[in-house]
Structure 1
Amino acid sequence: MNIKTLLLSSAFVLAAAPAFAQDKEITIQIWGSTWENGIKAISQQFEAETGIKVNAVTQSSSGEGLVKLQAERSSPSVDVWFATNTIASEAGQDQELFVKIPKDKLTNSGELIQGALSDDWVGIYYYPMGIVYDADVVTVPPTSWEDLWKPEYKSQIIAPAMSIYSGSLLMVANQINGGTIDNFDAGFEALKNLNDNVSLYYSSDSQARQSIVQGEGSILIGQSSHMNAIAKEGLNMKMVAPKPAPMYFDVMMMTKGDSQDEAAQFVNYIISKGAQEEMLARVNMAPVNKNVALPEELAAALPADGEGFVMDGRLVNENVSDWTVRFDEIAR
């Protein structure tokens, strides 16, 4: 083989082997902690298997992320957006920015649990709001939401502020005290009466975890990833999700970006059994793929069938500003 033939042959091999990895890519917009703790590694696996590079830009919250996307509505640079289901339910109305989920391209969609797929979004995992507690400190653990008002829990509860988890604590307090979807007076009155038992209202997950570790309380109204993260600090954490348990999905939405086919492949990959198992191992959230086996401790923390409910995203978005003002007047 002469030198010219050798060079041409080598050039062909170099071009043919990795070329597909160089000209296909997508950009996702996601929370920094979720990217670093789970999706980054899964995205690297996706890239290795498909040749589609995944670039990430971060957001501090779903609301902030939506504002970023809306600013470039006419020419979105992001292909897949990660959000909470409550924000996504409202954002999906913006058909200039988002596309409907191409369900025909999701070959793994038949493996999803009920509620994890809508016309506008696909779940990546789900989690209930429940009661997380230090079993070495709380000798008589709570088994119901009503228990939180017991006087023996005075100054022991770390609870979410209205600005986080979409008013879930208000929703629970309202339901168990006879309120209705049109009138939250009962819920606000119950939260006012809970004040003596609350040592802190947290506004971020990191603040919630840090407060328990520092001993500012022994009971945390939170979700399963809190239990897992705090347990890694050496505390004996347990969790119950009594009825009515607010259920949340963190989800993916697709924009009208230039790489919709590649974005659909990515979404389909994230809900696959293998990726869901990887996600579970990394973040301890309940998988949306029903073929993934749950660890015993996580399974025990999930609500029984029929005891969870998914909050109405539109209702929350329409009222959360007023709820926050009213909550700030009673919280202390």
Structure 2
Amino acid sequence: MKKQLNASLMISLAAALFSASPMTQAASQEIAVMAWGTTWEQGLQVVADKFEKQTGIHVVPVTQSGSADGYARLQSMQDAPKIDIWFSTSSLAARVTPDKKLFAPIPDAALSNVSALIPGAKAPTWVAAYYYPLSIIYRPTLVTHPITAWADLWKPEFKDSLAVPDVQTYQARMLMVSALTHGGSIDNVDPGFTALKQLRPNIAMFYGSDSDSRRALAQGEVSVLIGPPSQAKPLSDAGVDVTVVSPKPAPVMFDVMTLVNTPKQAMALKFIDFVLSAESQSTISTLYNMGPVNHNVKAAPELAAVLPKESDQVSFDEAKINDHVAQWNERFNAEISR
């Protein structure tokens, strides 16, 4: 009987030691965050390292090529998600996060920095990590005159010179700019499509990958790139001389954090709140050239110089974008991109 008790005790001790092993403890003290590779490398990695030092929670990065790719991967693991936080555009997040099986709400009470957020940066199921405008990035040595307005891009001197995002990239904002600058609106995109057809001779490439468009600008295959100011940062760091302007109307967009429905929500919320802190927002603005969503943080000086004035900024109803973007994309592919 005594031997049986000793044997049982040894088995219990062994099980306890195994459950408390460093590997098991480490796994329980980590979260997985899925984001774009550039976003991670240029800003979030530094934030995640600081977060781990302060909390002991390790952040495992998972790279997505785009928001749609990330969402497809989440759907494939819906019954047992292995991602705790997913970065997305606000437009896609607004469409998919009502799925209560896959996503959890982000309560204001869990965020110590929620009161510092700028307008529009928080929804029940997502919170913005940063904001950015759609801007014009160009190589000053490759253009005849400085670019100051959207209308400049339609000039004949820019024939075969532009890298322009397709409709699905940056939430159809180039279509919105084309519409607004030619008498249309989100409810009347016909002038936008007509304007893009007129712009077509000047467009050397439509892109869905930021890295492809940056490469084209760096190599001189195009002289102008339409995209957020963050596109200019790696080019400048590599010694490529670029100029950024954000003319009126300047669409402003958010990239956001969503909370996936996993057992690690408490740790994930800590990371989300940490990203919203003044220290992290300053890091993201400086390293990644994105606008801070914490109103107590000023944009990095270089970025502040190219951000649009508040009076020049425009925003759009994400529900309308979501309702129409598939139709717009079909029309874009049929009439313009081919």
2:54 is aligned with 1:49 = yes
Q: Distance in 2 between matches of 1:183 and 1:256?
A: 38
Per-residue CA distance 1:261-285 (angstroms, 9 max, x = gap)? 1111110001111112222232111
Check the 8 A contact 2:282/2:300 in 1, yes or no.
no
2:203 is aligned with 1:201 = no
SS in 1 for 2:273: helix
SS in 2 for 1:172: helix
Counterpart of 1:241 in structure 2 is: 246
Q: Which letter maps to 1:98?
A: F
- How many corresponding residue pairs? 317
Per-residue CA distance 1:87-120 (angstroms, 9 max, x = gap)? 1111122122212211111111222222212222
Q: Distance in 1 between matches of 2:237 and 2:42?
A: 14
SS in 2 for 1:166: coil
2:33 is aligned with 1:28 = yes
Per-residue CA distance 1:140-189 (angstroms, 9 max, x = gap)? 22222122112222222221122311211111111111223333211111
Q: Distance in 2 between matches of 1:105 and 1:163?
A: 33
**Alignment equivalent of 2:171, drawn from 166, 173, 193:** 166
**Alignment equivalent of 1:257, drawn from 233, 253, 262:** 262
SS in 1 for 2:305: helix
SS in 2 for 1:301: coil
Per-residue CA distance 1:232-261 (angstroms, 9 max, x = gap)? 232321111112211111110112210111
Q: Distance in 1 between matches of 2:83 and 2:177?
A: 35
Q: Distance in 1 between matches of 2:243 and 2:28?
A: 47
**Alignment equivalent of 1:295, drawn from 286, 300, 314:** 300
Q: Distance in 2 between matches of 1:161 and 1:215?
A: 20
**Alignment equivalent of 2:135, drawn from 130, 135, 138:** 130
2:111 is aligned with 1:106 = yes
**Alignment equivalent of 1:330, drawn from 308, 333, 336:** 336
Q: Distance in 1 between matches of 2:171 and 2:57?
A: 35
How far 1:231 moved relative to its partner?
A: 1.7
Q: Which runs of 4+ in 1 moved over 4 A?
A: 19-22
2:120 is aligned with 1:146 = no
**CA separation of 1:330/1:276 partners in 2, compared to 1, >3 Å: closer, same or farther?**
same
Check the 8 A contact 1:21/1:51 in 2, yes or no.
no
Q: Distance in 2 between matches of 1:180 and 1:57?
A: 37
2:263 is aligned with 1:229 = no
Check the 8 A contact 1:69/1:76 in 2, yes or no.
yes
Check the 8 A contact 2:159/2:203 in 1, yes or no.
yes
Check the 8 A contact 2:129/2:255 in 1, yes or no.
yes
Check the 8 A contact 1:174/1:186 in 2, yes or no.
yes
How far 1:289 moved relative to its partner?
A: 1.8
Q: Which letter maps to 2:337?
A: A
Name the stretch that deviates more: 136-145 or 102-111: 136-145
Counterpart of 1:5 in structure 2 is: none
Per-residue CA distance 1:46-93 (angstroms, 9 max, x = gap)? 111111222222221111211222233333222211111111111122
Q: Distance in 1 between matches of 2:129 and 2:261?
A: 20
2:324 is aligned with 1:319 = yes
Q: Distance in 2 between matches of 1:163 and 1:22?
A: 37
- Please give the TM-score of this superposition, normalised by the length of structure 2: 0.87
How far 1:203 moved relative to its partner?
A: 2.1
Counterpart of 1:181 in structure 2 is: 186
**Alignment equivalent of 2:90, drawn from 85, 89, 107:** 85
Check the 8 A contact 1:192/1:331 in 2, yes or no.
no
How far 1:208 moved relative to its partner?
A: 0.8
Unaligned runs of 5+ in 1: 1-14
Check the 8 A contact 1:130/1:245 in 2, yes or no.
yes
How far 1:317 moved relative to its partner?
A: 2.6
Check the 8 A contact 1:102/1:264 in 2, yes or no.
no
Q: Which letter maps to 1:262?
A: M
How far 1:292 moved relative to its partner?
A: 2.3
Unaligned runs of 5+ in 2: 1-19
**CA separation of 1:259/1:197 partners in 2, compared to 1, >3 Å: closer, same or farther?**
same
Q: Which letter maps to 2:336?
A: I
Q: Distance in 2 between matches of 1:231 and 1:54?
A: 29
